[in-house]
Amino acid sequence: MALRLRTGNQMIAQGAIQAGCRFFAGYPITPATGIFKTMIDELPGEGGVALSAPDEISAVAYCIGASMRGVKAMTATSGPGWALMTESVQYAVMTETPLVIALVQRLGPSTGGATQGAQGDVLLAEFAVSGGYTLPILSPSTAQECFDLTILAFTWSELLRTPVVLLSDKEVGMTAERVDDDLLRNVTSQDRLQWRNRSGGLEFMKPKTYGTYSFDCVQEIPAFTPVGGEMKVTATGSAHNKQGKLQKNSPETLEVLKHLEEKIRWRENDLVKVDADIQNGAKILVMSYGITSRAAKDAVAESRKRGIRVSFLGIQSLFPVPSRTITESLQGVGRVVVAEENLPGLYRSVIERHCNGARVLGVNKIGSLITPNDILNAVQS
Amino acid sequence: MQTTTIPPEMDLVYRRPDTLTQTPMHYCPGCGHGVTHKILMEVVDELGIQEQTVGVAPVGCSVFAYNYMNVDMQEAAHGRASAVATGIKRILPDRFVFSYQGDGDLAAIGTGETIHTVNRGENILVVFINNAIYGMTGGQMAPTTLLGMVTSTTPFGRESQVMGFPLKITDLVAQLPGAYYVTRQAVHSPTAVRKAKKAFRHALEYQKLNKGTCFIEIVSNCPAGWKMTPVEANEWMEKNMFPAYPLGDLKVPK
């Protein structure tokens, strides 16, 4: 045991550095500033670059530029900054540029409540991309998970060549809690597959033999070619063919667009990360994510003490939706309780269709944390 | 808060104008925002334009300006105050419209809005509080942070090779033909306050002429962000901020 007191924000920064992130750009915004501050303090010592940007639009664009060279890059923000970043996030989806964005949620809309936690950005993050392309989202609920999921976020972004959102919130990000250094697995993230020149010679200006996004089947992840490398690279946010050249409606361009979604969808069963505690014969399943899953866990423990058979499913990989895992957890379940800190039940609206006709109840609240009692009442009702 | 009734036999030397609310300010001790709010609102009161004045507050420490300024006030999204003020002024051209912004809001995230507002010569007053730091989020480097200055994101001081140079945005906008009156003032001493107040009076009077944007920079302090006492902060400001941001008029009407 080597206990330290650390905030979720600090653990995201530490996880990023361990994952090999060597570029960070940020703009001050509560409650995400702690990540920015830690990266400014720590990253230069690791041989990385940490930059202050004049706004979130620049911050995310700096990261895309660095990632286009092959460097793992991250930025961190909250709701208002995410709103500004979405243009470039779409650009990263379109250009298949790996990137991790820590989105530490606060109460919205607009400037909202800078120091008030909430879980209101889950669909705002997922549906930021025109056309509904899946943006992988991981959501930690403890400082320890902040570390683990940051490393996983880098692995996903590198292997899938896509931006990945790390969806934290004010309570997880700014609360200091015990972290056991011994439990911080000595792992790092995987790296993107880089194109290698088999002949060993320069192959500039030979677009027929190589395209920036060359793939044979739509699910394939094209090998990455860094800018400033030996290969001529073209990339564009416009609809493009496999060489990264603007083309509007050609069959090849439509295939590239299909590929952007298929490369993630095809692997969705490999992209499942849940905290499952399934009880045999349970008639009730409690689902939650982020900070609220901690209250949900307590509520489940208390329910069992009172003799109620209940299962728990904390969802860490919110998108792509772990639909198969959800369906499997529903064995014999007649009622599902979904707890989250927003009023309409944002994530509940997404997973409802996977609940096979079970009755789905929401526990929703804003302005203060959802308590184990709030969830317990729904379990007992 | 209770108001005191002044006995009729005593001479009334000063009273809080109606343009300032009775809400106690949340600003840190020694901060320049309070004085700037006060003199701006005193001018609005003296000109008798309280009913015709509309202000737009930023995101930053003065996000709460509407709590203290007793005129129509709205907070805009971060950096967009002068753009929102543009919309208000275009629809209500006979009103006195001002934006009130800090250095992060006006000279970082809102640089584009600032330059284009002045370039269009919008007939508004832009009040720019420059304390060289992001106060509300805990003292990060701002575009106006001085070289060598330690902030939470420049732990070894701002280096020009990495972080560029202090942005003199007031000098920049003074070059634009749309700017009618551009001045740089301070509020750290009684003399400075009197001068700054005069500048606010000019700017609001000029707004009646429809000649272009009036832009007033207040070089201010941030004792909490600079990690100094209010007195130390004012001394540090005189010694370091004023040489970088010299007080005085940058553009006056001919």
DSSP A118-156: ----HHHHHTTSTT-----EE---SHHHHHHHHHHHHHH
Query: How far is it, in rounded angstroms, from Cα A97 to Cα A164?
Result: 10
Pairing of strands A23-26, A73-77: parallel
- CB contacts of A55 in chain B (<8 Å) are 79, 108-109
Residue A207 predicted with pLDDT over 70? no
- Kindly give the pairing relationship between strand A163-169 and strand A3-7: unpaired
pLDDT confidence tier of residue A319, bands split at 50, 70 and 90? very high
Q: Are B75 and B99 in contact (CB under 8 A)?
A: no
Q: Is residue B157 part of a domain?
A: yes
CA distance A59 to chain B (A): 11
Alpha carbons A361 and A345: distance in angstroms, whole number? 9
> Judging by beta carbons within 10 Å of its beta carbon (0-12, 13-18, 19+), is residue A257 exposed, middle or buried?
middle
pLDDT (0 to 100) of residue A215: 87
Q: How many CA atoms lie within 13 A of A119 on its CB side?
A: 32
Structure tokens at B219: 């070089």
**Total of domains in chain B:** 1
Amino acid at residue number A117: G
CA A370 to chain CA centroid, Å, is 23
Distance between CA atoms of residues A29 and A357, nearest Å: 42
What is the Cα–Cα distance from A239 to B229, expressed in whole angstroms? 57
Q: How many CA atoms lie within 13 A of B135 on its CB side?
A: 25
Phi, psi of B53, rounded to the nearest 5 degrees: -105, 135
Rounded CA separation A117/A173 (Å): 10
Chain A residues in contact with B109 by the CB 8 A cut-off are 27, 54-56
User: Do the chains contact at B79 and A110, CB–CB below 8 Å?
Assistant: no
CA distance A116 to A73: 28
Q: What is the pLDDT of residues A48-103, one digit of tens each?
A: 999 999 999 999 999 999 999 999 999 999 999 999 999 999 999 999 999 999 99
B7 falls within a domain: no
Chain B residues lying within 8 Å of A114, measured CB to CB: 136
Say how far apart CA A381 and CA A308 lie, in whole Å. 12
Residues A135/A129, Cβ–Cβ less than 8 Å: yes
**Residue A33 confidence (pLDDT) above 70:** yes
pLDDT of residue B2: 55
Q: Are A3-183 and A272-380 in the same CATH fold? A: yes
Letter string b/e over residues B146-160, b meaning 16 or more CB atoms within 10 A of that residue's CB: beebebbbbeeebee
Instruction: Give the mean pLDDT of A245-272.
Output: 95
Sort out which chain A residues have CB atoms less than 8 A from B77's CB and list them. Answer: 80, 110-111
* Cα separation, A112 vs A13, whole angstroms: 25
Cβ atoms A173, A29 nearer than 8 A: no
Contacts of A124 (CB under 8 A, 6+ apart): A79, A82, A83
Per-residue pLDDT of chain B (254 residues; tens, 9 = 90+): 556 666 777 788 888 999 999 999 999 999 999 999 999 999 999 999 999 999 999 999 999 999 999 999 999 999 999 999 999 999 999 999 999 999 999 999 999 999 999 999 999 999 999 999 999 999 999 999 999 999 999 999 999 999 999 999 999 999 999 999 999 999 999 999 999 999 999 999 999 999 999 999 999 999 999 999 999 999 999 999 999 999 999 999 98
CA distance, residue A148 to nearest chain B CA (Å): 26
Q: What is the structure's pLDDT at A233?
A: 85
Of A29, A40, A55, the CB nearest to B137: A29
Where in chain A are the domains? 3-183, 272-380
B41 within domain boundaries: yes
Q: Which residues in chain A touch residue B59, judged by CB atoms under 8 angstroms apart? A: 80, 111
Contacts of B155 in chain A (CB under 8 A): 40-41
* Nearest CA-CA partner of A124 in A351, A322, A342: A342
The angle, 0 to 180 degrees and rounded to 10, between the axes of the packed helices B111-119 and B81-91 is 30
Contact B104 A41 (CB under 8 A): no
- At B10 the pLDDT is 78
B163: closest CA of chain A, how far (Å)? 8
A2 pLDDT higher than 90: no
CA dihedral A116, A119, A123, A128 (to 10 degrees): 40
Q: Looking at residue A201, what is its pLDDT?
A: 47
Tokens coding B31: 């901060």
Segment A305-312 mean pLDDT: 96
Say whether B75 and A41 touch across the interface (CB within 8 A): no
Phi and psi at residue A116, to the nearest 5°: -115, 120
Residue A100 near residue A153 (C-beta atoms within 8 A): yes
Candidates B111, B137, B154: best to mutate against A (most CBs of A within 10 A) is B137
pLDDT at A193: 81
User: pLDDT at position A216, please?
Assistant: 86
Using alpha carbons, select from B204, B215, B28 the residue that is nearest to residue B119.
Answer: B215
pLDDT, tens only, B87-144? 999 999 999 999 999 999 999 999 999 999 999 999 999 999 999 999 999 999 999 9
Alpha-carbon gap: B209 to the closest alpha carbon of chain A (Å): 34
Long-range contacts made by residues A351-354, C-beta under 8 angstroms, separation at least 24?
Answer: A351/A287, A351/A321, A351/A323, A351/A326, A354/A321, A354/A323, A354/A326, A354/A327
Q: What is the pLDDT of residue A206?
A: 44
Q: Is residue B28 one of the residues assigned to a domain?
A: no
Question: What's the Cα-to-Cα distance from B145 to each of A37, A51, A56, B132, B158, rounded to whole Å?
Answer: 17, 15, 19, 4, 7
**Class for the domain spanning A3-183:** alpha beta
B143 contacts A28? CB cut-off 8 A: no
Domain A272-380, CATH 3.40.50.920 — does that match? Answer: yes
Looking at CA atoms only, how far is residue B141 from chain A in angstroms? 8
Quote the pLDDT of residue B12: 82
> Parallel, antiparallel, or unpaired for β A137-138 and A317-319?
antiparallel
CA distances from B82 to B87, B142, B170 (A): 9, 19, 14
* Alpha helices for B120-184 (secondary structure H): 160-163, 169-174
Angle of helix A33-42 relative to helix A8-18, nearest 10 degrees, comes to 40
Q: What pLDDT, on the 0 to 100 scale, is given for residue A196?
A: 63
Q: Are A372 and A291 in contact (CB under 8 A)?
A: no
Average pLDDT of chain A, as a whole number = 93
Mean pLDDT of A227-241: 87
Helices A8-18 and A143-160 pack at an angle, to 10 degrees, of 40
**Alpha-carbon distance B136 to nearest alpha carbon in chain A (angstroms):** 9
Cis ω on the peptide bond leading into residue B177 (within 30° of 0)?
no
Tokens (6 digits) for A98: 């790996």
ipTM for the predicted complex comes to: 0.91
Residues of B with CB under 8 A from a CB of A: 59, 63, 75, 77-79, 104, 108-109, 111, 134, 136-138, 140-141, 143, 152-155, 163
CATH code of the domain in which B170 resides? 3.40.50.970
Q: A295-307 as b/e, with b when 16 or more CB fall inside 10 Å?
A: bbbebbebbeeee
Residue type, A145: E
CB B244 within 8 Å of CB B186: no
- Domain span holding position B140: 33-248
Nearest Cβ partner for B79 among A40, A41, A55: A55
Q: Tell me if A154 sits within 8 A of A189, measured CB to CB.
A: yes
By the 8 A CB rule, do A333 and A285 touch?
Answer: yes
- Please list every residue in chain A whose beta carbon sits closer than 8 Å to the beta carbon of residue B61: none
Chain B residue whose CA is closest to A83: B77
**Rounded Cα gap, residues B189 and B191, in angstroms:** 5
Residues of A in contact with B63 (CB under 8 A): 111
Secondary structure element (H or E) that encloses residue A169, with its range? strand A163-169
pLDDT at A228 over 90: no
B152 Cα to chain A: minimum distance (Å): 7
Contacts of B119 (CB under 8 A, 6+ apart): B176, B177, B178
Helix ranges (DSSP H) in A116-250: 122-126, 143-160, 170-174
- Domain membership of residue B194 (yes or no) is yes
Residue pLDDT, tens place only, A107-137:
999 999 999 999 999 999 999 999 999 999 9
Average pLDDT of A280-295?
A: 97
The confidence score (pLDDT) of residue A66 equals 98
Nearest to A33 among B75, B138, B143 (CB): B138
d(CA A100, CA A153): 7
